[in-house]
Amino acid sequence: MDYQYYMPTRVECGAGLTSRTGKFLSSYGIRKALIVTDAGIVKANMLGDMLASLQNTDIEYAIYDKVEPNPSAESIMSGLDSLRGHGCDCIIAFGGGSSIDTAKGISVMAGNPGNILDYEGVGKIANSGVPLVAIPTTAGTGSEVTAATIVTNKQTSFKAAVISPYLFPRLAILDPLLTLKLPQSITAATGMDALTHAIESYTSKAASPVSQAFALAAIRMIAANIDKAYYAGTDVCSREQILVASMMAGAAFAQSRLGNVHAISHTMGGIFNIAHGVANAALLPYVMRFNLPACVEAMADIAEALGCNTAGVSRERAAEMAVEAVVDLNRRLRIPANIRDLGVDIQALDKMVEDSMRSGNVLINPRLTTPEDIRAIIRSAYDGV
């Protein structure tokens, strides 16, 4: 087997580490940072400890708080204007996956010409951008350790993937205290987003022993902690475990990429502006069921990692238990059992099929996939069958 593993992002994890952001940045010789976030985080006064740390280390800053739920090319280019206008030499992404993806786009566009959409695909970015520090406030996307950003083209309603080693953040700060006040709905959606990353990474045709080790560990950690994070909320240990699992799932799929869930969910997000995590969660059991004949052994491994008792059953039955476990987990986390309830309009089925097949994730999905297969998965997920 030929494979490589490359993740240049330094990871710092610990409760309260946000208050040391300034010290981390000063070690890089940063003079002024652009903080990329959303208006809700600013309104909730979540930036306080980080801003104080910057002030204590004499690092100037400006705030760009126009991040959208599904980042568009326009918001990235607007952020680039803010970066240049304020003379910043670093970016701090503070927020969920949308903030981090927006910041990634701004970072690389600082060193490359044109529009971010010019770089759709793999390896098209020629130059590095400004240093990026990622501080996730949700535990789901893993974007703090990946080489990709997802950008919505508003003209075509298509979510384009831009993939380049230059998109890896230089530093990721994992502070579970930032996730303690997340609403249950966000905990559920982001936790299932991380689980989807781990499952799709583990079964990907491009998986390696390294990526699979990260993915399987992430599945175990999520399964063991998601209920407590969801129902108790303020338990720091379970929150930290989910946050670390999200990072590990990101480190896995940064190498292996994903599969049909993401091919379809990105399409749904682009057309209907549906939140990415909940779209993944609702689609996941349907894609797992479709993939099952092509990856029985991997699905059986996933069942065991999810905590299923597979002793004495065949590998085929164990694989089926993985699908059943995800269905049950969605139910416990109050994730809709179909995509109709998310706002999907089946009249757009042809466009959903066409856009999904544009995704490179289809090519490394474990089961060969045709447009008719995508059509059947979407119909099943829409009907809840």
Q: List the chain pLDDT tens, one digit each, 385 residues.
A: 788 889 999 999 999 999 999 999 999 999 999 999 999 999 999 999 999 999 999 999 999 999 998 899 999 999 999 999 999 999 999 999 999 999 999 999 999 999 999 999 999 999 999 999 999 999 999 999 999 999 988 888 888 889 999 999 999 999 999 999 899 999 999 999 999 999 999 999 999 999 999 999 999 999 999 999 999 989 999 999 999 999 999 999 999 999 999 999 999 988 998 989 999 999 999 999 999 999 999 999 999 999 999 999 999 999 999 999 999 999 999 999 999 999 999 999 999 999 999 999 999 999 999 999 999 999 999 999 8
Indicate if 113 and 262 belong to the same structural domain. no
Integer-rounded Cα Rg, in Å, for the chain is 20
Determine the number of helices (DSSP H) and then strands (DSSP E) in the chain.
Answer: 14, 9
Q: Evaluate whether residue 124 is within a structural domain.
A: yes
Indicate if 252 and 376 belong to the same structural domain. yes
Indicate if 23 and 163 belong to the same structural domain. yes
Residue 137 tokens read as: 């406030």
Structural contact between residues 238 and 191, judged by C-beta atoms closer than 8 angstroms? no
Q: Evaluate whether residue 319 is within a structural domain.
A: yes
Structural contact between residues 161 and 148, judged by C-beta atoms closer than 8 angstroms? yes
Q: Evaluate whether residue 151 is within a structural domain.
A: yes
Which is nearest to 190 in space by CA: 132, 273, 249, 105? 249
Indicate if 88 and 211 belong to the same structural domain. no
Residue 72 tokens read as: 């568009």
Q: How many domains does the chain have?
A: 2
Domain boundary among 122, 156, 179: 179
Domain boundary among 156, 179, 202: 179
Strand 148-153 vs strand 158-163: parallel, antiparallel, or unpaired? antiparallel
Q: Evaluate whether residue 2 is within a structural domain.
A: no
- What CATH number corresponds to the domain at position 313? 1.20.1090.10
CA 377 – CA 301 distance, rounded (Å): 23
Q: Evaluate whether residue 5 is within a structural domain.
A: no
Q: Evaluate whether residue 144 is within a structural domain.
A: yes
Indicate if 226 and 320 belong to the same structural domain. yes
Indicate if 192 and 154 belong to the same structural domain. no
CA 213 – CA 327 distance, rounded (Å): 24
Structural contact between residues 70 and 265, judged by C-beta atoms closer than 8 angstroms? no
Structural contact between residues 325 and 303, judged by C-beta atoms closer than 8 angstroms? yes
Q: Evaluate whether residue 3 is within a structural domain.
A: no
Indicate if 342 and 228 belong to the same structural domain. yes
Q: Evaluate whether residue 78 is within a structural domain.
A: yes
Indicate if 204 and 306 belong to the same structural domain. yes
Indicate if 40 and 159 belong to the same structural domain. yes
CA 140 – CA 245 distance, rounded (Å): 8
Indicate if 32 and 105 belong to the same structural domain. yes
Where in the sequence is the domain holding 175, given as residue range(s)?
10-179
Domain boundary among 144, 179, 214: 179
Indicate if 199 and 341 belong to the same structural domain. yes
- What CATH number corresponds to the domain at position 43? 3.40.50.1970
Indicate if 188 and 126 belong to the same structural domain. no
